[in-house]
A and B are shown apart, each in its own frame.
Chain A
């Protein structure tokens, strides 16, 4: 057993030791478990990372649309901390990767301006003895379900890492004059449109940059989440998140079976 990385809180060690002796825990459903097994992986254990983070203060300029860089940094750094700790737990178990990763943010009543960032997933190890770690030598991470993971492996592609980009943006309030001028008319709120565009573009670009640095072929299951969290209506976090994938060496000609078309009679 390797020593616990100093970054991991001390209590993480003993639980992981038990998992090294063949017992596994997982929040995979039965179907997901069987599909992950079918894809050639065995679950090692539920791994998680958490960080309670104080999010600094930054006030938006009432009439100006702008990125709140300090808040963007906070959201990114805190998630990174949680993800990193989860990866470290997986690393300690000798895992090839983590499937079914969920990122959560919890706001507690007693923790003003702070939030807990959590990453949870199931660490897995290949049964064929080969290494499936990503090109940075780290366990791969993915938020794909067991079903999607199996389907992806059928295509010859393989997850590299969960990639994300975030941008907290303050969207300007309309000037009173402008609001009166537009009253009663159908009109595009151009500054809103532009602000939303900019913010989404920033978030997506940051995610793509992460994917590029991994030399990924693409990002699957990408989604864009928009949340106000605790900042009121005009400050929004745009979070772009997905699984960066690459074609696995030697998987150039993968014949994907023609899927059967069915109509389910389930209610």
Chain B
């Protein structure tokens, strides 16, 4: 696309309906802005999880040469911190790029995270469309994963976007001899596998707690919570929370009673 006055046109990742909805709110797309961060994770194996709990041998053995040491439960704080830094830095870079354009916010933010080089590397890529609110002085810049009519609805409902939020927790559990005991015929069906329960609950609870702290009293909507379990001598459960932080600026308008419809279609 060329622009006849010789300056470049705007570029935007918005879909056509989103673009139309943004224009209807007085939001002019300025440019696609992005922020990157590629980092290195220290070697996983050398990380010592911060133990919060130990599981003594169910048979009462102490650590001997023939017997594994007691199991433990903990968190891999260093790994989570590395990812938190990666996200925060990439986000900050995207915000700076948008601020440099005199934008008021970034809408339709997409988040991509991965290991570009190896398991030891972290990559966070955030991109979205910087938008400007015509005739308004720039203030603190907001970012949000939604755009278009959803953003319009948010504003209409009395909210304002704050930022994209990411939190995570990696919990680790070394089973010691606990699982050997519980995998034997001596334990009846339906007995609680406490260490497995604990590692799952710890990862999710901590990630959500962290999200609360980062939210700073605002509301976190559209939370995507994903948990991943790794197998091995040490069981890792990683829980990630991604959401859109919003604040309420007006009392919620009462919603009109919806019309119940039955669609005549297959």
Contact surface of A with B, Cβ cutoff 8 Å: 35, 147, 150-151, 259-260, 262, 265
A209 to B74, CA, bound (A): 70
A147 touches B261 (CB 8 A): no
CB pairs A–B below 8 angstroms (10 shown):
A35-B262, A147-B262, A147-B263, A150-B262, A151-B262, A151-B264, A259-B264, A260-B261, A262-B261, A265-B149
Q: How far in angstroms is the closest Cβ of chain A from B84?
A: 31
CB neighbours of A259 from chain B (8 A): 264
A262 to B262, CA, bound (A): 11
Q: How far in angstroms is the closest Cβ of chain B from A31?
A: 9
A161 to B248, CA, bound (A): 54
- Residues 46-92 of B at the A interface (beta carbon under 8 Å): none
A165 to B261, CA, bound (A): 34
Chain B residues bordering chain A, tally (CB within 8 A)? 5
CB neighbours of B149 from chain A (8 A): 265
- Chain B contact residues: over half helix, strand or loop, or mixed? strand
Which A residue's beta carbon lies closest to that of B148?
A: A267
A260 to B263, CA, bound (A): 9
CB neighbours of A265 from chain B (8 A): 149
Q: A151-B262, A262-B261 are in contact. List 8 more A-B contacts (CB 8 A).
A: A35-B262, A147-B262, A147-B263, A150-B262, A151-B264, A259-B264, A260-B261, A265-B149
CB neighbours of A147 from chain B (8 A): 262-263
Q: How far in angstroms is the closest Cβ of chain B from A163?
A: 19
A63 to B264, CA, bound (A): 46
Which B residue's beta carbon lies closest to that of A264?
A: B263
Chain B positions 9 through 29: 1 when the CB is less than 8 Å from some CB of chain A, otherwise 0: 000000000000000000000
A56 to B261, CA, bound (A): 49
A260 to B260, CA, bound (A): 12
CB neighbours of A151 from chain B (8 A): 262, 264
Q: How far in angstroms is the closest Cβ of chain A from B27?
A: 18
Q: How far in angstroms is the closest Cβ of chain A from B129?
A: 18
Which A residue's beta carbon lies closest to that of B262?
A: A147
With most chain A CB atoms within 10 A of its CB, the pick from B149, B261, B262 is: B262
CB neighbours of A35 from chain B (8 A): 262
A199 to B16, CA, bound (A): 49
CB neighbours of B263 from chain A (8 A): 147
Q: How far in angstroms is the closest Cβ of chain B from A32?
A: 11
Q: How far in angstroms is the closest Cβ of chain A from B155?
A: 17
A147 to B262, CA, bound (A): 7
Which A residue's beta carbon lies closest to that of B265?
A: A147
Q: How far in angstroms is the closest Cβ of chain B from A255?
A: 16
A259 to B262, CA, bound (A): 10
- Residues 243-264 of B at the A interface (beta carbon under 8 Å): 261-264
Q: How far in angstroms is the closest Cβ of chain A from B149?
A: 7
A265 to B261, CA, bound (A): 15
Which A residue's beta carbon lies closest to that of B260?
A: A34
Which B residue's beta carbon lies closest to that of A35?
A: B262
